[in-house]
Structure 1
Amino acid sequence: MSSGNTLSENAEEYMEVLYKLSLKERPVKTTKISTMLNVSPASVTQMIKKLQKEGYVDYSPYKGVTLTEEGYKIASKITRKHRLLERFLHDVLKIKKDKVHDQACEMEHVLSDDAERALCQLLENPDECPDDEELIPVCDFQFETCEECRKRRQEEVKEVGKRDKNLVSITDMKKNEKGKVSFIRGDYKVIRRLMDMGITMGAHIAVLEVAPFKGPIQLLVRGSNLALGRDIAKNVFVEIIREDTVPSKGALSYG
C-alpha cells in the first residue's frame, strides 16, 4: 500500500478517521467512528480489534480507541496524502470543494511516497486542505525544513530516509504539553520570523494556554512567555516530550 503497510483500503479509512478524531479527544469513542463512517457499531468493533491485533491501536471496551505510535505514523501519513490530493484537485484541476473529498479518497491509497513529496513541492508546501481547512500533517521524510527538501529535490525518498519520531503541530498540542521543535513548514521568511522569536530547530517549548476561537497560543520558549498566532504556530511541528522520558531534574532547560 502507499503508506508502507499491508492495510486494506477499508482499514486505511478507519485509520484516517481515528487520526482526525484523536486530535480532539483520546481515547476515541467507537460510536463516533461509527457515525463518521456510517457503519454499524459491530463493524467498527470488528475492525478495531483487527487493528489492535496488528499493533496499530489500543482498544478498551466502554473506554475507546487510542492510536499507538506506529498507528499514529500510518494514520497521519494517509491523512497527509488525502489532504494534499484535495489541494491538487481543487487548486490545480479546479474541482469544486464539495467534490474533492470523495475523489481524494479514491486516489490516496495508490499515491507513492515519491509522488507525495513531488506533489507537495508542486503545491508549494500547503498547510491546509481546501474543503474544511483542516491542517495537512507534516511529512515523515528526514528534513527539518521545506527549504532543505527543495534543495534535495532530485533525491528519491529511499535516499532521503524517513523520520523515526512522530511530530505534531503546536496547534494540536494540549495545555501543559512540552515538545522539541523538529520541523518548520514554509519558506525562509517563515523560518526567519520564528528565529526572531527564539523558536529554532531543537528549541524546547511548553504550552501555557490555548485561547478559544482560534486565538493565540501562549508558549514558554527559552524562559520567556510568547503569544504565537495560529497562522504560524500551525506550521511548527514538535516531538512531544513525555514526562516519563525526561529526567525529573532539569527536564527542560529552555536555553
Structure 2
Amino acid sequence: MTQAPQYLLALYIAQHRDEPPISSGTVAEMLGRSGATTSETFQRLAGHGLVTYEPYEGATLTEDGWERAAELHETYVTLSWFFRDALDLEEHELKAMRLANDVSTVVSEQLAATLLQDELDDRAGE
C-alpha cells in the first residue's frame, strides 16, 4: 500500500467537494491514475478498514480513514503552498499529494511556520 496515502488524501479532498461515495474515476483523475488501479486500491483500503467501497458506486472514508487523511491533508496544504509560492511549480497540488505521506509532521509544521513568517515579513515590508 505504498501509494495508499495519496488515495486517502484524494478521497478526503473529493469528499469535501461532493457527497460520498466518490467514484473511482474522480480519484483516478485527481491522481493521474487509471480507474482500474484506483478501484483496486479502494478494495485494499477497504480491507484495512480505511474506506467502505462498493464497485460501480465508489468509496467513502471510514472514521479511521478520515482521521488519517485529515493528518495528511495538513501536510499536503503546507507542501502545496510551498511548491506554489516559493518554488512556482506547476502541478503543485499533485506534487504535494504525492509527497504528503513522506514528510514528517515536525517538518511540515516548521515549513508552515517559515512560510507564514516569510509572508508576514513581506507584508510588513510593503
Give the TM-score of the pair, scaled to structure 1: 0.41
Looking at both structures, which has the greater relative contact order when contacts are Cα pairs under 8 Å and sequence separation is at least 6? 2
Residue 113 of structure 2 is matched in structure 1 by 121
Structure 1 or 2, whichever has the larger Rg, is: 1
Matched, 1:18 2:11: yes
Q: What SS does the corresponding residue of 2:33 show, helix, strand or coil?
A: coil
Deviation of 1:54 after TM superposition, in Å, equals: 0.4
- Asked whether 1:30 is paired with 2:24, we answer yes
Superposed counterparts of 1:203-222, under 5 Å: none
Cα deviation code 1:215-249 (max 9, x no counterpart): xxxxxxxxxxxxxxxxxxxxxxxxxxxxxxxxxxx
Match of 1:70 in 2: 64
Q: Which amino acid aligns with 2:88?
A: K
Residue 233 of structure 1 is matched in structure 2 by none
Amino acid at match of 1:20: I
Could you list the runs of 5+ residues in structure 2 that have no partner in the other structure? 118-126
Return the letter of the residue paired with 2:5. E
Aligned partner of 2:73 among 59, 79, 82: 79
| Structure 2 SS opposite 1:114 | helix
> 1:134-189, CA deviations, whole angstroms, 9 ceiling, x for partnerless residues?
xxxxxxxxxxxxxxxxxxxxxxxxxxxxxxxxxxxxxxxxxxxxxxxxxxxxxxxx
Distance in 2 between the 1:59 and 1:115 partners? 33
Distance in 1 separating the partners of 2:25 and 2:84 = 31
**Shift, 1:75, TM fit:** 1.3
**Which of 104, 113, 130 is matched with 2:96 structurally?**
104
Q: Within 2, Cα distance between the matches of 1:37 and 1:111?
A: 18
Q: RMSD value over aligned CA atoms? A: 2.3
Aligned residues of 2:9 and 2:69 also touching (Cα < 8 A): yes
Residue 77 (structure 1) shift: 1.7
Question: In the TM superposition, what is the alpha-carbon distance from 1:39 to its structure 2 partner?
Answer: 2.7
| Deviation string, structure 1 residues 60-88 (Cα, Å, up to 9, x no partner) | 22322100111011112222212201222
SS at structure 2 position matched to 1:123? helix
- CA apart distance, 1:18: 0.4
Q: Distance in 1 between matches of 2:106 and 2:28?
A: 33
Aligned to 1:153: none
1:57 and 2:51 matched: yes
Pair 1:88–1:37, CA change in 2 (3 A) = closer
Q: CA–CA distance in 2 between the matches of 1:35 and 1:102?
A: 11
Task: Specify the alignment match of 1:212 in structure 2.
Answer: none
Larger % of strand: which?
Answer: 1
State whether residues 23 and 59 of structure 2, in contact with CA within 8 Å, keep that contact through their aligned partners in structure 1: yes
Q: How far apart are residue 124 of structure 1 and its match?
A: 3.0
Separation in 2, partners of 1:32, 1:43: 12
Question: Which structure carries more helix by proportion?
Answer: 2
Aligned-partner residue type, residue 119 of structure 1: L
**Which among 32, 35, 39 is matched to residue 45 of structure 1?**
39
SS at match of 1:98: coil
